[in-house]
Amino acid sequence: MTDAVSTATRPGRSATAETVRRLPEYLMIWVPLLLSAAHLITFSIWTIWISFTPSTLIPVSGWVGLRNYNSVLASRNWQIAFDNLLLFGSAFVLLSLITGLMLAILLDQRIRGENVLRSIFLYPLAVSFVVTGTVWSWLLNPGIGIQKLVHDLGWTSFRFDWLIDRDMAIWTIVIAAIWQSSGFAMALFLAGLRSVDSDIIKAAQIDGAGPVRTYWRVILPTLWPITITVVVVQLQFAISAFDLVRALTNGGPGIATQLPALVVYDLMFQRSQLGRGAAAAVLMLLILLAVLLPYAAWRYVQRRQATHA
């Protein structure tokens, strides 16, 4: 009888002891996670509420409907920022994708000094966007940067003044962003290339496929999931870009390189129009959701197909 009771209670004691033993792990993971989720949800709801109020310097109650949204959407600042976002987002994502893929293919050739090159290509990720923007603003400044260096070498007709050119300034942000983020794309693509089944590659080579055809027809199609992940992550960066633009051009010359995040900052902290700034922030959130929700749906379908396969 005693043995039976002992046997029946032992699993319960074991589960309790296991729970107590793993309690620090649960606290380390779930407490910060729940606090972060509560912080995100609370301030998102607060921002949405503020966007429907006539708040200016301080939050006030009241209801103005969509007036703040109409005002933001009709403003020249937002229209220029949205146009710049389309240009910057498409150029940055496409070019960083191509650059990262080319670097990954280069390293995948098992070249000498691969570890050194990989560290060099990944180094920009360790630098903050503020530092990146500041350094690139020095390099692209026609008075102290590349243009002055070439002039000092004797080629006085050389011009590289994109930083102060209203039509080309947005491309300076694209250049700096590609330098900063290509290493991230390279790391993901390189991991994907190294995970391709070697038997498939050998079979293609036996069939007479050269290196270019092997990459184009056999290896690259297997990288579609990684490609989509890189695109989504880079799009998130493009939509929320602030530090880099602030340090590199501060939205200038004039407002030629404004992006939505700078419009939010300008409305909230420089013009003290809290309601309109919140409306612009909510519009940014909607743009982000337009990217993230299709990606989440695609990942859900992928998992379902993998489960039923």
Full DSSP string of 180-193: HHHHHHHHHHHHHH
Q: How many Å apart are CA 66 and CA 80, to the nearest integer?
A: 21
Question: Is it the case that residue 160 has pLDDT exceeding 60?
Answer: yes
In SS3 terms, 98-110 reads as HHHHHHHHHHCCC
**What pLDDT, in 10s, does the model give residues 23-78?**
888 888 888 899 999 999 999 999 999 999 998 888 888 889 899 999 999 999 99
**What pLDDT, in 10s, does the model give residues 124-143?**
888 888 888 899 999 988 88
Nearest Cα to Cα of residue 277 among 46, 39, 55? 55
- What pLDDT does 12 receive? 53
- What pLDDT does 298 receive? 86
The DSSP code for 253 is S
